[in-house]
Structure 1
């Protein structure tokens, strides 16, 4: 089911007995978790086919699609599915770092040794039982090897050049006349990163994400 929709398992781990784990399918603290996500733009054509059959006024269609796909897998395997957009928010980035041994890039996106910045987490499966989970292997953090840091120098609004993400400056630029390139081809800082270029999202997918950012 996941592979047929361009999604992949992104690792997992077992919760310790003293951790504040979210509820599993039985309502008790979950014992294990598997993360589900994408590597590159593989899910995009599957999402577009689904989107054409849905009402045009969906507020968050990509989240809805991912919930439907991952929820069906959860039902098949006796798990509970959760989403990064669920409220209250769940610590997906911390889970991802623990499951895959990744670290954040200067843009805040986790840097993957193969996919670069072109990957995402679309949900997770929570289990009431302990399941076999492979420990993450040690990975090279590519940002440590990057001398030029082009991801900090390509944004006309300098959204990532200071201390943290300058959200309002980015939003104002993207919404303005000078932000057409960002709206149509995606974040210039993200696209400037040389790693994982083969997995770069297609332009229309990047435009979709930028439109969601501007709402």
Structure 2
């Protein structure tokens, strides 16, 4: 593939968690979880043995992303970057990249995340990750033809948490009942919604695990702006 740097994994490189982690780190990505796929299991490319779910690695992801050629003022820079970078990595390791965008139909990312044992349904129904809390986001997944070790299951952080997420939404749009998107949009249209737009969702920020994750407010503001267009 044109433009490959010396020392990068070549086409058909043997997939392993350390090899993948090293390659992903250069793009400020990491494996957030994974699971084994049964032979012939529906919903995956033929021959898939392992699915690994990828997301931003902090600190440093946003600065890296915004320095890439996709950050050119054209639409969908984050998705275009994800397709190029994760698609190349998948190709190099003989797998296939699967993305949470580009549908319909969409891949069942929510269900996949729950299968990893490192992501759970939170008290407010949003996904919560062992290391990223409610700030968890996925940029893509690798469907690999090898049986690859995956990050081990973790303990759900919500089990010992006072659940400040349940009362953090000033609009009452995100509660134990789920996410009322129209109510959220209506609140963001008002002056009171400025803090959510510029600093990120207060529910996600209330999560104690999220508070220890080095996601920049600028990144949250960008995604809130895209959501509220």
Tell me the TM-score range normalised by the shorter chain: 0.7 to 0.9
RMSD: 2.1
Distance 1:159 1:124, change over 3 A: same
For 1:28-47, what per-residue CA distance to the aligned partner results, in whole angstroms no more than 9, with x for missing partners?
A: 35332222212445311111
Which residue number corresponds to residue 201 of structure 1? 215
Matches within 5 A, 1:74-153: 74-87=90-103, 88-127=105-144, 129-134=145-150, 136-137=152-153, 139-147=154-162, 149-153=163-167
Query: Residue 51 of structure 2: which of 30, 33, 44 is its match?
Result: 33
Q: Does structure 2 conserve the Cα–Cα contact (< 8 Å) formed by 1:37 and 1:120?
A: yes
For 1:38-59, what per-residue CA distance to the aligned partner results, in whole angstroms no more than 9, with x for missing partners?
A: 24453111111015x644131x
Q: Does structure 2 conserve the Cα–Cα contact (< 8 Å) formed by 1:106 and 1:160?
A: no
Match of 2:140, SS state, is strand
Which residue number corresponds to residue 198 of structure 2? 184
Q: Work out the number of aligned pairs and report it.
A: 206
Which residue number corresponds to residue 79 of structure 2? 63
Which residue number corresponds to residue 50 of structure 1? 68
Q: Which has the higher contact order (CA 8 A, sep 6+)?
A: 1
Match of 1:2, SS state, is helix
For 1:50-94, what per-residue CA distance to the aligned partner results, in whole angstroms no more than 9, with x for missing partners?
A: 15x644131x21111111110111121111111111321101122
Match of 2:85, SS state, is helix
Q: Does structure 1 conserve the Cα–Cα contact (< 8 Å) formed by 2:124 and 2:177?
A: no
Which residue number corresponds to residue 34 of structure 2? 12
Distance 1:171 1:103, change over 3 A: same
Q: Does structure 2 conserve the Cα–Cα contact (< 8 Å) formed by 1:35 and 1:96?
A: yes
Moved over 4 A (4+): none
What is the TM-score with the length of structure 1 in the denominator?
0.85
Match of 2:66, SS state, is helix
Following TM superposition, by how much is the alpha carbon of 1:158 offset from its aligned partner in structure 2, in angstroms?
0.5
- Counterparts of 1:134 and 1:82 in 2: how far apart (Å)? 17
What is the TM-score with the length of structure 2 in the denominator?
0.81
Query: Residue 188 of structure 2: which of 174, 195, 199 is its match?
Result: 174
Distance 1:207 1:165, change over 3 A: same
Query: Residue 73 of structure 1: which of 89, 100, 103 is its match?
Result: 89
Which residue number corresponds to residue 174 of structure 2? 160
Gaps of 5+ in 1: none
